[in-house]
Structure 1
Amino acid sequence: MPSARRAGSIYRRCECRDGTGKLLGSKCPKLKKKNHGSVALRQELPPDASGKRRTFRRTGYDEVTKAQGDLSRLQAILELAGADEADQQRVGDYLADINRRRGDIPQVDEVKRRLGVGVPLDGTTTVAQWLDRWMATKKTRDTTNAGYRSHIRVHLAPRLGHLRLDRLSVGHVQAAFDAIAEDADTVRAENAARREQEQRAAWGRPGRPPASERERLAVERDRLAAMPPYRKITGLATRHAIRRTLRAALNRAIAEQLITFNPAKYVELGSSSRPKGLLWTDERVARWRATGERPSPVMVWTPEQLGAFLDEAECSSRLYALYHLVAHHGLRRGEGVGADWANVHLDGPQPRIDVLTEIVVDGWTPVETVPKTDSSMASVMLDRGTVDVLREHRVRQDSERRAAGPKWTETGKVFTTETGAWLHPEVVSKEFRRLVELAGLPPINLRDLRHGAAALVKAGGGDVHDAKVKLRHSTITLTSDTYMELFTEYEQELTERAAAAVPRARRPRDGEPAAEGAEPSGDADSGGVEA
């Protein structure tokens, strides 16, 4: 129930002084005059933390109506706290501070807003305090929140957290992101230096190095041990993601009317385009083997390379069916690991898998959730070859169930451990990397295996729209930004293959021997005219 209205009053206060500057008070001879002195107000405040009584006083009003207006505002502010003792003390502390420094009495709506969101009433909320408050109210899924927390903990709080929220400027935010970019350059240089030092510290020949070389290598290895370890580089795309986190938090502060301007909106970071998908052509493979550099963050195997990987996986891994499904039908890692047998339909004229659940990682803990976007929750049509692979996998899983006996955990998942438990997504990625190395193939990430499904769409005669449907993207722009260059490359390769598939008995070019069985042409014996 609301608290009782605390005592408050309007009165006149004599400001007359004697020759020494001392207030006359009750000795003033003018007190008997009706309008002598200035108007003042008095309002009782909630007691402080120790229980001591407090009073708000203000003098110097030239009109009773102005004093009455401020008194009414004070009483309305006090009513905001209701019966909550903590809020009453917060409001009392706030008004006592205003009384001490003779600050302006705030509007009721401003205090109500600040009291409602749990931020300091005096406007001294820092960026770090607001980011913590914002995260406490986020309703997005755990893995998304983990990304926000990482951005806040690693980048935003250390560089901006100490600043007052209502004084955060474009200059503050720009300086913070410039510092993040400079740190990224430093880490990139340190990583490159460590990579070079590793080469100097390694004996790259067979057998044990001679004594002279062992001494040199020991020195180089000591230098390597003293260097900073490899660190992750905060690239441009990550900096854009960090800015999106800050913009979202500040937009919420604007909605709560704590600030009126979002400085993160005007920070310049440079263009952040999506990495383009490129094929591992023979030329690129040769360059990678020579330099160790990948041409693009998104690399895609050719059908021949993919076939070599799947052959290796079929012989060497119990997770072959999972990699086959991802490679041919573009499921994400979490969608494959989270697939339920109840949502797999192998019989009937249109075999399919309904993507309704996924297993993602929150820190290191696997968490089952629904796919991130509505477009991802869809049915994926299966080809006959994939149907056969999944049926064989189910037979294998039944054998593992019988072998595990009472140790088996029935989760209903398509892909599990040998005892039926959930597969950890990172275990799937680790096994994928092992198989890539075993097959001697150029490197791709497990996510790139999904990208390769787009290439198979093109190889099968489809276009970008067909790839959008296959990968369940929300917009065709997302598909086009990533795969258009890949499709152009694939178009050229298919064009060359199509041309080479036509047998020809070509006329020899200058300096070339005539093809076996080819008819001579253009000479005197064949009826030609001599020059």
Structure 2
Amino acid sequence: MATREGSTYKRCMCRNSETGRAYGACCPKLKRKDGSYNPGHGHWAFQYELPRTTDGKRRQARRMGMASQEEAAKDLAQVKALLEVADGDAEVEVQVADLIQWALKDRQPLPDLEEVRKRVGAGVDARTQTPTVAVWLAAWLKGKPDLAEGTRASYMGHIRKYLIPHLGKRRVDRLQSRHIEAMFDRIEEANVHILECRESDDTKVKASVRGQRVISLATKHRIRATLRSALTDAVRNPEVAVTVNVASHARLPSCPRKKPLAWTPDRVRQWEKDGTVPGEVMVWTPAQTRAFLEHARKYRWLYPLFHLIAAKGLRRGEAVGLPWSNTRLTDGQVDIRVQVVQLAWETVTSTPKSTAGQRTITLDTDTVRVLRAWKRFQNEERLKAGEEWVDSGLVFTRQDGSGWHPAQVSDWFLRISRAAGLPPITLHGLRHGAASLSLAAGTDVKVVSAELGHATTHFTQDTYQTVFPDVAKAAAEATAALLRGGPAVVRTPVP
């Protein structure tokens, strides 16, 4: 019989030939004549009387089918140790007993002692089930209803493509930094495979990776940042029983900020010779930007948009989503309060995700003149179109008054820059160029940072201060003048 001390015993499945009942622990074959157990017959078991259920019913912890008495005694000791964690608290005893009973019923290992102790110590119901990474990420994202649509789409992509396939089945509290590092190792192996297939002479091999993209180091850092954010909330949640954010300890090579490079004459000659693009982020010189805008004048419905980005450094989504109601030409100011975010091909209009992104920029006289002329032309076209005109209220529209899709604007930018014979940059490179031009013209970095919507002046200065070689050359000559004993005058080149 079971007692509060519990017991181990041996039994078998033999049945009495006369009654048909199982012998259980009374089978004569279980023991030798000297009273010792027969090692070749039957299996070991343990039993222990658990605290009653919440409705007062008696219950036992019992497990059978173990190979040795030592194994049975070990499990019995585990049951006792688990109940001792309650330290006399009747409510916690019931919770721990429930855990034990569930494990035995499902033929699972007994609960981990340290894990139960951690939950009880944190004041959490011991029966709380720690979620897997996949379950936690889904709950975490669902609990953030105010996320910007672009940010949500980014998180969802990281979760669906990488975090769940590689880590989803692991329990959150058992996730380790080495598991995360192993995920990035496998991502890098996939990168190598894609690159090798692209270089293959076999068209079928090349086709096998068509549409697959190499995951950059910057993207890996963003994937880790998504997991780190989710685990930060797990650490704060006492019911999850996670004490360390292992994503913060997962190692990745550092990812230095990609600084823009200008298309200097030497770089342009090399590009014309063999197509070499020397950096990931390229910007045009002032002369090249002027050449682009001159060529873009032929495209009446796009020129004002490109002019504004080139002059004031708006992001693509900010320019595409700019309404006339936020554009004050008399004051020469534009309020950046909305942006159009592209999610796959779909678009969503939202506010800039950072406080710094919501800003007011001041227009120069040339840009005001361009926008005034554009507004007159747009009004004329609206009158011609009549009822067919789409009243979007946007500054930059297509011929029917509807807004531009961000991808279409990027496509047209590439077409026009190619037609102008200019070295390649992205549309975002036009924003980079505007920042560099402002600093090269001597504009205070605080003003440039604020108008670009950067969170800090350090980012602005560190990224753009030395883009144009002429600026660095002027500073170098001023330093040399000091060594010669002459006046150190820095003459900033006029863009």
Q: TM-score, normalised by structure 1?
A: 0.69
Q: Please point out which of 392, 417, 434 is paired with 2:398.
A: 417
1:446 to 427, 431, 435: 427
C-alpha distance in 1 between matches for 2:195 and 2:206: 18
1:72 maps to 2:91: yes
1:144 Cα deviation from its structure 2 partner: 0.4
| Residue number in structure 1 paired with 2:441 | 460
State how 1:5-404 maps to structure 2 within 5 Å: 41-43=51-53, 56-57=59-60, 69=88, 71-73=90-92, 96-98=101-103, 100=105, 103=110, 121-123=128-130, 125-138=131-144, 139-191=146-198, 193=199, 228-229=209-210, 231-257=212-238, 258=240, 259-348=242-331, 351-404=332-385
Q: Deviations over 1:254-294 (max 9, x none)?
A: 11132112222122211211111111011111111223231
Q: Secondary structure at the match of 1:325?
A: helix
CA distance in 2, matches of 1:415, 1:114: 58
SS at match of 2:51: strand
- Which whole-Å CA distance do the structure 1 matches of 2:308 and 2:122 have between them? 58
Q: In 2, are the aligned partners of 1:246 and 1:264 still within 8 Å (CA)?
A: yes
**1:300·1:451 contact (CA, 8 Å) conserved in 2?**
yes
State the 1:56 CA deviation.
Answer: 4.2
1:395, distance to aligned residue in structure 2 (A): 1.2
**Aligned 8 A contact 1:56 1:99 in 2:** no
Amino acid at match of 1:41: P
State the 1:473 CA deviation. Answer: 1.1
Q: Give the drift of 1:360.
A: 0.9
Q: CA offset at residue 41 of structure 1?
A: 3.4
Which amino acid counterpart does residue 302 of structure 1 have in structure 2?
T
Structure 1 residues 74 and 402: alpha-carbon distance in aligned structure 2, compared to 1, 3 A threshold: farther
Distance in 1, matches of 2:418 and 2:87, equals: 82
- Contact between 2:340 and 2:406, CA under 8 Å: does it hold in 1? yes
Q: Percent same amino acid among aligned pairs?
A: 35
Q: Which amino acid aligns with 2:304?
A: A
RMSD of Structure 2 on Structure 1 (CA): 3.9
> Given residue 435 of structure 1, which amino acid in structure 2 is its aligned partner?
I
The 1-side partners of 2:290 and 2:310 are apart by 10
Amino acid of the structure 1 residue aligned with 2:260: G
Q: Does the C-alpha gap of structure 1 residues 436 and 317 become closer, same or farther in structure 2, counting only changes over 3 Å?
A: farther
| CA apart distance, 1:363 | 2.6
Q: Which residue of 2 aligns with 1:491?
A: 471
CA distance in 2, matches of 1:278, 1:456: 13
Q: Distance in 1 between matches of 2:207 and 2:357?
A: 47
How many angstroms does 1:399 deviate by? 2.1
Which structure is larger by alpha-carbon Rg, 1 or 2?
1
Q: Match for 2:256: what amino acid?
A: S
**What do the CA deviations read for 1:62-91 (whole angstroms, capped 9, x no partner)?**
9xx98994643356x59xxxxxxxxxxxx9
User: In structure 2, how many angstroms separate the alpha carbons of the residues matched to 1:497 and 1:227?
Assistant: 55
Task: Figure out how many residues of one structure are paired with residues of the other and give that number.
Answer: 419
Provide the residue aligned with 1:26 in structure 2.
none
- In the TM superposition, residue 295 of structure 1 has moved relative to its aligned partner by 1.1
> Gaps (5+ residues) in structure 1?
1-10, 23-37, 47-53, 79-90, 198-219, 499-531
